[in-house]
Amino acid sequence: MTRHLLDLACLGPRGLADLLLLAEEVKTHPREARYADALKGRTLGMLFHKASTRTRISFEVAMNQLGGSALLISTKDSQLGRGESVADTARTLSRYLDGLMIRTFEDERLAEWAEHATIPIINGLTDLHHPCQAVAYLLTVKERFGTVQGVSMAYVGDGNNVAHSLMEAAALSGMDLRVATPQGYEPDAEVSRRVRELCAEGGGRVTVTTDPKAAVDGVRAVYTDVWASMGQEEEKARRERDFAGFQVDDTLLAGAAGDAIFMHCLPAYRGLEVSAGVMDGLRSAVFDQAENRLHAQKAVLLTLLVGG
C-alpha cells in the first residue's frame, strides 16, 4: 500500500518519532553514502497552486543532496490547466515519478490525488495542514532542549493550517501546547476533535484560549504565523484590527521561561504578528527553524520513497 503524508495524524506517535530521529541523523551525517546516494535515479514532482519559497527550494535541494532530482510542474502549462482530471493526471504521473509534493488549497483535492496515485503524495501545504513545517519545528525544539516530550509551547495567532499541524505534532510527541487566538479565529472544530484523540495516543496536551498572556506564561517556545494567510489578502485590514493584542513583542515574550525561544515559519511581517525586536532578537530561532525544513524534508523523502 502506498504511503502518503497528508497530515501528521497519519504517522501516529511512533511514525513521527522515527521521522524526527531520521531528520536528526541525516542532518548530522549528510554526506554518508546511505544518505547522499539514497535517492539516486529517483524523481520528485512538485506541483504548486500557491506561491512558495522555503517549501519549493528545500524540497528541491533535499532531492539533489540525496542523489535524486526534482521536477517543477506548472498547472498553467500542463493539461491540468485545461481541465484534465486529477484522477487521470495522478495515474499518469505515477508512471513517471517516484513521489509528488503538492501545495494546494482544499484538503479534499489533496486526498483525491492520494486516492488515485500509486506513488507517495506529500502535503507541501493545504488550507488545513502544513505537516513538514511542524516536523522542522519539532527538530528545532529538540536541538535546543534535548527533547520534545513535556516541552511547553504557546502558539499565538490565527487558528490556521500551521496551528493545526502544531496541534497534531504536540499531541503525538507529548508536548504541552497552548493555542491563543482571537475569538472567532479558533482552530477548525474537526481538527480539534481529532487532536483530542491524538493526545490520548501520544500523551500530549493541547488547550485553546483567547488569552495570549496566559498561553505564553512560563512556556519554553513561542510560535506565531502571519495573520492573513495566502488567499486571505482581502481580509488583511479586518484581521489586523481583530488581532490587536496578539502581536508577539518583548512584553508578551517576557512572560515565557528564561530560556524560551521564538519561532515563525516565515514569511514574517515585522510590526504585525511579531515585533522587529523579537524577530531579530537573541531568543529568535526562526532561521534555525527555516534551515531545518531541509532536514525535515529529507527525512520525509527517505521515509516515503525508500522506507527510511
Which residues are annotated as catalytic?
Answer: 103, 130, 133, 225, 265, 293
What Rg do the C-alpha atoms of the chain give, in angstroms?
Answer: 19
Angle between helices 131-145 and 12-28 (to 10 degrees): 70
Q: How far apart are CA 152 and CA 127, in angstroms?
A: 26
| Other beta carbons within 10 Å of 64 | 12
CB-based contact 185:164 (threshold 8 Å): no
CB-based contact 273:246 (threshold 8 Å): yes
> Measured between alpha carbons, how far is residue 250 from residues 26, 51, 271 in Å?
35, 31, 12
Q: What is the DSSP string of 70-87?
A: EEEEETTTSGGGGT--HH
Kindly give the residue spans of alpha helices, DSSP state H, lying in 146-285. 161-173, 189-202, 212-216, 236-242, 250-253, 276-279
By CB atoms closer than 10 A (0-12, 13-18, 19+), residue 231 is exposed
Closest CA to 140 of 229, 223, 256, 225: 223
